Every structure is written in C-alpha cells, then in structure tokens.
Amino acid sequence: MELKIGACTLHIVEGNICDRQVDAVVNAANNQLWMGGGVAGAIKRRGGAEIEREAVAKGPIAIGESVVTGAGALAARHVIHAAVMGRDLTTNADYIRRATLSALARAKELNLGSIALPALGTGVGGFPLADCAGVMRDALAEHANAGTTLKTVEFVLFGRDARDAFAAGMDE
C-alpha cells in the first residue's frame, strides 16, 4: 500500500524493520531505553549491543520523546528510539502520537530523506493495530504539513495479518 502525505510517500510494508534500506529505523522504546523483546530486541540482535549501550547512556527520557543512536550492523545509519511506554509497559494514543512526532522531528533535525517505523505500542504495549495506524497517519500528516526533509516513510509490520490490520486502519 502506498499513500502520498504532503511531500512524503508512505509505504506500508510487511517485513523485518532491521532489513529496511533507509536512513533511520525507529525503535519502539520504553523510556529507560532498555532493549528487550519485540522490535527493540530484533534491532539489538541484528545491529549489535552497542545500540542499546548508546541508547541507555542517553536515558531515561520522557514518554513521547526520542533519542538517536548509531545503527551498528543495520543497513540504516541511525536508530531513533521513540519512548512509547514507561516501566509499566503500557501505552495509549497520546503517547504513540507524541513518540511518532518526536521520531519524525529527529529525522528532520538530521536532514534524513527516509525512515522506517514499526507500529508503535502494538507489541508489548498491546495497543490495537488499526487504531495505531490512524494515530501514526495523523502524526505523519501533521509533521509533513509543517515541512519535512523526509521523502519516503515506511510503516513496517511483521507478518501479513499485522500489515493487513494496519493498512485497514489507514483507511478509517
């Protein structure tokens, strides 16, 4: 699925975010910036433990904020750690919106042209995929309409069912 949002082309893709050939990938982080399971665990396993060490040294951060680290062995140059939950590992639409906007702002600060984001808060955080799609789509539109360096934005979902549920939420 492909949509045009402002100057950005948005792609909804099924796959592993660690494989994406983009300037930055976004990690669905907790505010302590520890990288355990889910997207964070996959990034740490593929990119290397130095990503977590660098992230933790920049934390803790407020929920809804983000920090940038190197990407280790990933194809991307940067990992943007967007804190979508706290120690209780729960999230909500406001946290997801703020974390998405913060990650997009870090990309703009770095003058990046492409970014890949997971469905923030839908794994450990338990937020519904279709609802997340609407929140992230609206945050991207807000960011794009304010001016951005991003040309390509990918929402990367692990598995066909997740991709289909997220894509359905984009239409709502």
Q: Residues 62, 89, 121, 18: is their CA dihedral positive or negative?
A: positive
Which residue range(s) make up the domain with 96?
Answer: 2-171
Q: What is the pLDDT of residue 89?
A: 87
| pLDDT of res. 28 | 96
CA separation (Å) from 87 to 31, 95, 123? 7, 13, 15
- In the chain, how many domains are there? 1
- The whole-model pTM stands at 0.96
Instruction: Give pLDDT tens digits for 143-169.
Output: 999 999 999 999 999 999 999 999 999
> What's the Cα-to-Cα distance from 22 to each of 42, 48, 155, 160, rounded to whole Å?
16, 18, 12, 21
* CATH code of residue 159: 3.40.220.10
In whole angstroms, what is the distance from residue 105 CA to residue 127 CA?
Answer: 23
* Structure confidence by residue, pLDDT tens digits, 15-38: 999 999 999 999 999 999 999 888
Of the candidates 88, 161, 162, which has an alpha carbon nearest to the alpha carbon of residue 132? 162
pLDDT of 80-132, one tens digit each? 999 999 989 899 999 999 999 999 999 999 999 999 999 999 998 999 999 99
